[in-house]
């Protein structure tokens, strides 16, 4: 059974194939509408965390392709609390065609996949955010044609979004740079995987503390919230540490003239990203958000083996 838990589970050729399919499905959607390739398919949407983009984009992806989605709230399932994850996986395997899970603990989505006889998609975990990374790569590809040889810079916390962005960037041949404060590095295991992927593609990974050095010659500057869901008790501490990592007009001016600014959203405006940048000429944050829909259609199509 093929699942979509991390981009690093796939080969660069497979990731590029999904991106190429996303391009085709997006073009098709705007020109004449997608064919009902998901007819008779139902995707269970399992949530432990609140969501706007993940819920709506997966729901609409299924609808656009002729299928349906079933939203399951935290109180309805109680993943790993009300009922064992192994039992949930086997029960849902007999009801629906696939599962998307947005969880706190990465081990929970891995456990779902272990016991499931239908495809499981990681809609976000504390370790990675692979569906976001696919939309990110699609957005960069639309702007520059391909990722190979580009410089992708992430400024901020070495979190789940940064992990998946690093992995997909170097898989596809882009150089990746991250600037983050001391104590907020990416997990060591993510760095080790990144090093192997970069060695295979010939890309370079650079870890810095200085955001100004990091954005030099950057084609894409990416940031995310300083405090992720589940870290709320650290908010005051983080807000004392991260202001030097704010993506503002001065920082963007130090990158390439054609650089794009990215954010996975939701954004805490005038914290990690200033209004003038978020709404400025370099920003692609809303096309990037819309690309979640098209990238996820392609992921689902490959998992359902219908395109």
Residue 44 lies in a domain: yes
Is 106 annotated in the active site? no
Whether 147 and 110 map to the same domain: the answer is no
Is 238 annotated in the active site? no
Rounded (5°) CA angle 247-133-276: 25
DSSP assignment of 156-177: S---HHHHHHHHHHHHTT-EEE
Residue 168 lies in a domain: yes
The per-residue pLDDT for range 110-125, each reduced to its tens digit, is 999 999 999 999 999 9
Ramachandran angles phi, psi of 221, nearest 5°: -115, 125
Whether 124 and 25 map to the same domain: the answer is yes
290 contacts: CB under 8 Å, gap ≥ 6: none
Q: Which of the following is catalytic: 292, 294, 296, 302?
A: 292
Whether 246 and 120 map to the same domain: the answer is no
User: How much is the average pLDDT of 169-192?
Assistant: 98
Which residue, among 288, 283, 246, 11, has the nearest Cα to 133 in the 3D structure? 288
Output Rg (C-alpha) for the chain, integer angstroms. 19
Whether 248 and 298 map to the same domain: the answer is no
1: confidence class by pLDDT, cuts 50, 70, 90? low
Is 53 annotated in the active site? no
Q: Which of the following is catalytic: 126, 224, 238, 246?
A: 224
Q: Which of the following is catalytic: 3, 108, 126, 264?
A: 264
Is 32 annotated in the active site? no
User: How much is the average pLDDT of 58-84?
Assistant: 91
Q: What domain range is 147 assigned to?
A: 132-288
Is 132 annotated in the active site? yes
pLDDT value of position 18: 98
Whether 111 and 150 map to the same domain: the answer is no
pTM: 0.96
- CA 221/CA 255 separation, integer angstroms: 8
Q: Which residues pair with 220 in a beta bridge?
A: 152, 260
Residue 98: CATH number of its domain: 3.40.50.1370
Quote the number of domains for the chain: 2
Q: Which of the following is catalytic: 16, 48, 132, 246?
A: 132
Q: Which of the following is catalytic: 3, 64, 102, 238?
A: 102
Q: Six-digit token pair at 218?
A: 């950057």
Share of the chain above pLDDT 70, in %: 99
Provide the sign of the torsion angle of the four alpha carbons 214, 229, 9, 96, taken in this order.
Answer: negative
Is 276 annotated in the active site? no
Whether 158 and 102 map to the same domain: the answer is no
The per-residue pLDDT for range 269-301, each reduced to its tens digit, is 999 999 999 999 999 999 999 999 999 999 999
Residue 2 lies in a domain: no
In Å, what is the CA distance from 146 to each residue of 68, 114, 158, 291? 33, 34, 24, 16
Residue 251 lies in a domain: yes
Instruction: Please give the mean pLDDT across all residues of the chain.
Output: 96
Whether 21 and 62 map to the same domain: the answer is yes
Report whether pLDDT(229) > 80.
Answer: no
pLDDT value of position 234: 86
Q: Which of the following is catalytic: 3, 53, 64, 129?
A: 129
Whether 153 and 102 map to the same domain: the answer is no
């Amino acid at each position: 059974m093929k699942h979509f838990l991390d981009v690093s589970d796939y080969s660069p050729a497979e990731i590029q194939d999904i991106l190429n399919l996303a391009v085709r499905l997006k073009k098709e959607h705007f020109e004449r509408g997608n064919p009902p390739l998901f007819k008779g398919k139902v995707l269970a949407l399992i949530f432990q965390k609140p969501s706007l983009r993940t819920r709506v984009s997966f729901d609409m992806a299924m609808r656009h392709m002729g299928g349906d989605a079933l939203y399951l709230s935290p109180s309805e399932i109680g993943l790993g609390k009300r009922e064992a994850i192994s039992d949930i996986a086997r029960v849902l395997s007999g009801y629906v065609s696939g599962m998307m899970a947005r969880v706190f603990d990465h081990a929970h989505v891995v456990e779902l996949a272990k016991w499931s006889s239908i495809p499981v998609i990681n809609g976000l975990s504390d370790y990675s955010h692979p569906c976001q990374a696919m939309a990110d790569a699609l957005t960069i590809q639309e702007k520059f044609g391909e990722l190979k040889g580009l410089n992708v810079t992430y400024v901020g916390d070495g979190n789940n979004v940064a992990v998946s962005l690093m992995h997909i960037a170097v898989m596809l041949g882009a150089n990746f740079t991250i600037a983050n404060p001391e104590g907020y590095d990416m997990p060591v295991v993510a760095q080790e995987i990144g090093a192997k992927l970069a060695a295979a593609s010939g890309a370079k990974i650079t870890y810095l503390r200085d955001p100004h050095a990091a954005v030099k010659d950057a084609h894409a500057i990416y940031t995310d919230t300083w405090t992720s869901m589940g870290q709320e008790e650290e908010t005051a501490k983080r807000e004392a540490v991260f202001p030097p990592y704010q993506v503002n007009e001065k920082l963007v001016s130090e990158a390439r003239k054609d650089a794009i600014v990215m954010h996975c959203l939701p954004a805490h405006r005038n914290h990690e990203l200033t209004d003038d940048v978020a709404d400025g000429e370099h920003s692609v944050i809303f096309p990037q958000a819309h690309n979640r829909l098209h990238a996820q259609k392609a992921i689902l199509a490959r998992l359902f083996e219908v395109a």
